[in-house]
Amino acid sequence: MSDDRCLSNAFRNAAVLSLACSLGLVFPAGRSMAATPDKEQIPASAKGAPASLQPLLAERAKYRTYFSAAYARYPDLPVGLLEAIAWSETGWTHVRPDPSPQAHRHMPPAYGVMGLYRGEGFANQVREGARLLGVSEAMVMSDPELNILAGAALLDQALRATRERANAAGLSGDDAVLARALAAYAGYGSGGGNIRSYARTSFAYNVLLGAERGITERGVEIPRRKVEWNKAFPGNQLRVLRAPVLNVDVDADRITPESATTAPAAAAPQATASATLAGDFGEAIWNPASSSNYSTASNAASAVILHTTEGSYAGAIAWFQNPSAQVSAHYVIRKSDGQITQMVREYHQAWHAAYHNGYTVGIEHEGYSNDAGTWTDALVNASARLTRSICARRGVNCASAWQGPGYDYWHVVPDSVRVKGHGMLTNNENRYDPGKYFPWGRYYSLINDGAPPSTTPPLYWVDTYANAPGYGSATSTAQTGTLYAGTNYVRCKTWGREIRNGTSFNHWWLKTDLDVGPANQWISAYYLSRWGSDEARDNDGFDIPRCEVLPYGEIAKKYYALGGVRSVLGSPKLAEMAAQQGGRFQQFDKGIILWHTATGAFAVHGKILDQFWATGGETEWGFAKMDEMAAAKSPATGQIGRYQYFQKGLFLWTAATNAHVIHGAILVHFENNGREAKFGYPTSDEQPYNGSGRKQTFERGTFYWTPENGVWVN
């Protein structure tokens, strides 16, 4: 077509100009689609903004003209919907993912203002959008105009197909059609199931929520649009979409709200008896089966790591559900209203932080680390509420949280900082989320309104099959009241008189509060529904600890921070007692906790504990300075081992080498010259060499030391 209005500098380059003309885009005389915006085009909400924001405001002013052009090309699209999609997906930012293989990949990368996916486990929206426009994929990814136009073409295609199906089925209601069209547009692949379906529906909900609220801030303009929510989504679906906290059981393909309420996300969830059966947050208990994207291995849960999804909330949920993702986080939080979805139990290992997965809880925040607009009040407040809860329940030291600036590069902070960003961890190069805009000072204040690590023993939930008589002691025969049948809590157990019926019997008694009668009374474990004679376990199968050996003081803080009976240590075996060298220790079924005023309390277990005891214990090596952690990959076997520092030495272990200790001058040389990543793991303890010398063999060399020559390696 040869129309002067088409040729009126409407596009910035010949390729886009040619496309615009072929598509028939016509603009009113005197209005240029891509003309550099003048001051009048910048909305009133942006006036007076800092100089640092002016380039962003100018860029967003261009986006508004691109959206107008897209509606002119696709007039069936409701005005405001494209802007709401861009806000939901990228925060009106032209996203350019890092193409390097080492880049942040918690989900498939999205491109451009519309956040279009390019396969890698999701739909290839870039390719389909390019096909619909007749341009290259590179142009759709790199040019904001074409990216917005491609998004419009994809949405128009989804809307037309949805309307055809709705008409064929005799359905009506614009918002219902829009919700289905948005779900089809979302781009999360073709997989079925409740969780993938929820992710698509959540995408639609978030877009419509942005459209209904309307946004006018920092150059973003989304006109308000009334949404008939009861027509857009079925009632039960809407309840889940609006719930403040969700639990996702991947293998059961089930999503449940934490409670039946739809309280605003800004309100902290209340810990109630019913909520304790749902999930970790809100004092919840939730135990999904294992999935292909996380490990059911024990997680010490002694630190909290903050991430950004580098994409959308719904996209992250869909990706973590994809069996090929090989990545996950314990929680994902929605930017618009702070909704929290739990995807992995805290005591399992989510795959979010490389070698640090064994002791950390990962929280993904919807948005991008390089976008200041990511950190809405709803997102920050919900995240702080969640972290505060983790600190109170798991014994994480919220007072140790990072208080300094954010960074846009990898910046390692000390291990003693137990609430920090992904980009502050060792072995996580090329990561810097949550980024330089994260409000660490404000976050620190929010999370430290919570309780400090507790020494109070937790409650254990059990099912009793009948009303159980209560007694004042485990040997008494004078009934003091009754505990009703059902789900009840108990505090601990002790050995007492036998209760028998035929071949079934039990000597264990459980301390609890009666439904009728006083508190701190005793019922027989005979009344537990699911365990055999002389067994007393909670509903998850964990051994209820004996009252006589419950931890206290600093050892209790550590034990409950690790997870108590659910931790790698298991149940307490002996009461706390004096250690050598002035400290204290307590033995558990699968390890010990050592404490000294100079070091604090740390757990020692497994093969490292065996070697620690076999070589002299704390008398020889002092007290533990840290919990056991994952070490580097062996250059000889490829195995990832474990390590633990004590005051006088370093213990290292792999299955191939067993556990050995390194100390003295050999340890100093080992640490300063590449550690196990270079030399592998020790295959022996230190041995005498050539009279006054010492030597120690490793997988990739032997270390020698003499008083005359110091340390060398062959």
d(CA 84, CA 209): 8
Average pLDDT for 355-381: 87
d(CA 714, CA 706): 14
pLDDT at 696 over 90: yes
d(CA 75, CA 625): 66
**Could you say which architecture CATH assigns to the domain 244-447?**
3-Layer(aba) Sandwich (3.40)
Average pLDDT for 396-424: 85
pLDDT at 642 over 60: yes
Q: Is 27 in contact with 10 (CB distance < 8 Å)?
A: yes
pLDDT for 453 equals 45
Mean pLDDT, all residues of the chain: 81
d(CA 175, CA 197): 18
pLDDT digits 0-9 by tens, 254-277: 555 554 332 322 333 332 222 223
d(CA 447, CA 16): 50
Q: Is 320 in contact with 293 (CB distance < 8 Å)?
A: yes
323 compared with 547, residue with greater pLDDT:
547
pLDDT at 326 over 50: yes
CATH class of the structural domain 36-222: mainly alpha
Interior angle at CA 39, CA 38 and CA 41, nearest 5: 70
Q: Is 691 left (phi over 0), alpha (psi -120 to 50) or beta?
A: left
pLDDT for 41 equals 47
Query: Which tokens belong to 355?
Result: 């070698």
d(CA 637, CA 322): 30
Q: Is 147 in contact with 111 (CB distance < 8 Å)?
A: yes
Residue spans per domain, the chain: 1-35, 36-222, 244-447, 460-544, 564-713
Amino acid at 567: S
Q: Is 124 in contact with 117 (CB distance < 8 Å)?
A: yes
In terms of Cβ atoms closer than 10 Å to its own Cβ (0-12, 13-18, 19+), residue 634 is: buried
d(CA 659, CA 611): 6
| The most confident of 218-222, 258-262, 709-713, by mean pLDDT | 709-713
525 compared with 3, residue with greater pLDDT:
525
Q: State pTM to two decimals.
A: 0.51
Q: Is 97 in contact with 89 (CB distance < 8 Å)?
A: no
- Which range is least confidently modeled, 2-16, 221-235, 449-463? 2-16
Q: Using the CB atoms, write b or e for 70-105: b if 16+ within 10 Å.
A: bbbbbeebbebbbbbbbbbbbbbbbbebeeeeeebb
Amino acid at 498: E
Query: Which tokens belong to 335?
Result: 């930017």
Q: Which of 381, 439, 382, 437 is nearest to 93 (CA)?
A: 437
Query: Which tokens belong to 656?
Result: 């191939």
> DSSP letters of 578-625?
E-GGG-EEEEETTEEEEEETTTEEEEEEHHHHHHHHHTTHHHHH--BS
- What is the SS3 assignment for 193-244? CHHHHHHHHHHHHHHHHHHHHCEEECCEEECCCCCCHHHHCCHHHHHHHHCC
d(CA 286, CA 330): 12
| The most confident of 211-220, 550-559, 626-635, by mean pLDDT | 550-559
Q: Is 345 in contact with 249 (CB distance < 8 Å)?
A: no
